[in-house]
Structure 1
Amino acid sequence: MNLNIRIQNHDFVLHPLGVVYWPEEEILLVADVHLGKISHFRKFGSAVPAGAIAQNFKKLDVIRKDFDPEHIVFLGDLFHSSLNLEWDIFADWYHSIDNQVHLVAGNHDIISPLKYEMLGISMFSELRIGEFRLTHHPEETDGFFNICGHVHPGYKMRGFGRQLLKLPCFYKKSNQLILPAFGEFTGNYFLQPEIEHRIFAITGKEVILVS
């Protein structure tokens, strides 16, 4: 189940797969997919099933069908490292869709911008849309609300019987929203929120405000 929130008098939809849809601008925001990471693990002997590679693309297609966005903006770390076989899978996926795709470069995005240009993908260091600033790293700027990734935020929910549930989350401050990592096998950084911050935990089927 999606969760709708208001930021700076704009509607945003938080999706259980860890993305944000901005209806007014018809933009789907996705952070930290880290394509190629699974192939990288497998190359060095990690027991990661080959079928896991397809999961990122299956999830992207589910979300595209849910929202039918005009634009898909990847907020950095679209690819984990250098070229491998997942680039060809990505290129095939890109040619199969009719959305405009843009990449805000992250620290892992070391593939030449020319490769993206040849596909028809626009690449930026940041994007500014009205009073919103879209970046990879969290960067608070006066006069702008920052939407970003990079951190892979997670939250530990503790029960009365010492149960512990570790979940990815959207992390909201007064002037910033950090998206969870979208990619498979990306891990989480578990945050200790301050009182005024808001945690929107992802259970897999719904998004829940937990603090």
Structure 2
Amino acid sequence: MVPLSFAGDEFALTRSGALYWPRENALLVADLHLEKASFFARHGQMLPPYDSRETLERVALAIRETGARRVITLGDNFHDSDGSTRLEPHACGMLEALTRAVDWVWITGNHDPSMEARCGGTLVEEMQLGGIVLRHQARRGESLPEMSGHYHPRLQLKLRQRHVRRPCAVVSTDATGGGRIILPAFGALTGGMNAADPAILKALQPAQTIDAVLPASGRLARIPLWRAAA
């Protein structure tokens, strides 16, 4: 984990893309996309049906690493609203164990707006915690500090003749000293969008700066993506 200061508070970003909030003892993860493989299988594209197990194992590891007593998911928890009905017994048992062990809150997303919490947890559309808005998709023009997911940001750059592609968070700052964060996708079977894509930069306006951030060699690497004109 590496420290990350945001909105006057201290957080820690894990290598897996989760964000730990010590003051709230909360772990935030975005875009699990559970049961994505079974969704594609229903449409004729056969994928190994173990993505949910792998994703939940990643969540369990992040809980152990941080000691979090609360987990808040930032939407697109399942790849579709019926995904929870397709969880095989082993994966559902894993999820039930996690939702019993911690205070688990599901924020719904555009993929799963009508999901059911069949294996535990509490459903909300969005919430505020510690003065920060938690929702699935960044809302352009939001004046409060905000955390979201949705875009699956991934840093793409050329470094020493090598093309580097790694999931990252995207952090903006604004004139009030606040800002917003878009977390990377946490799911085992998720792709990514270039962190500098105009859709991401537009979603975080108004902003003074927008950076990609990710753990690198035990420190927080910060790569500028956009700067307001002087």
- Same fold flag (TM > 0.5): yes
When the two structures are aligned, how many residues end up with a matched partner? 205
Q: Percent identity?
A: 23
Match of 1:199 in 2: 212
Aligned to 1:102: 105
Structure 1 residues 160 and 204, CA, compared in 2 at 3 Å: closer, same or farther?
closer
Q: Which residues of structure 2 form unaligned runs of 5+?
A: 174-178, 202-207, 225-230
What is the 5 A alignment of 1:26-175?
Answer: 26-81=25-80, 82-83=82-83, 84-86=85-87, 88-97=89-98, 98-112=101-115, 115-116=116-117, 119-139=119-139, 140-142=141-143, 144-161=144-161, 163-174=162-173, 175=179
Contact 1:167/1:203 (<8 A) preserved? no
Question: In structure 2, do the counterparts of structure 1 residues 35 and 205 end up closer, same or farther at CA, with 3 Å as the change threshold?
Answer: farther
In the TM superposition, residue 206 of structure 1 has moved relative to its aligned partner by: 7.7
Query: Contact (CA 8 Å) 1:32, 1:149: kept in 2 or not?
Result: yes
Counterparts in 2 of 1:42 and 1:95: CA distance versus 1, 3 Å = same
Contact in 2 for aligned 1:155/1:166 (Cα 8 Å) = yes
What residue in structure 1 maps to residue 24 of structure 2?
A: 25
Give the CA deviation at 1:108.
0.9
Deviation string, structure 1 residues 161-195 (Cα, Å, up to 9, x no partner)? 3x212111100001100000011221111032878
**2:13 & 2:91 partners in 1: Cα distance?**
24
Aligned residue identity for 2:32: V
Shift of 1:85: 2.8
- CA distance in 2 between partners of 1:192 and 1:57 (Å): 29
Indicate the larger mover: 18-27 or 131-140.
Answer: 131-140
1:79-109 CA-to-partner distances (Å, cap 9, x unmatched) read: 0112343264443123223111101111111
Query: Which residue of structure 2 aligns with residue 185 of structure 1?
Result: 189
In 2, Cα distance between equivalents of 1:129 and 1:72: 12
Structure 1 counterpart SS, 2:87: helix
Shift of residue 205, structure 1, vs aligned partner:
8.8
C-alpha distance in structure 1 between counterparts of 2:120 and 2:45, whole Å: 33
Contact 2:13 2:214 in 1 (8 A): no
- 5+ residue gaps, structure 1, are none
Counterparts of 1:8 and 1:29, CA distance in 2: 16
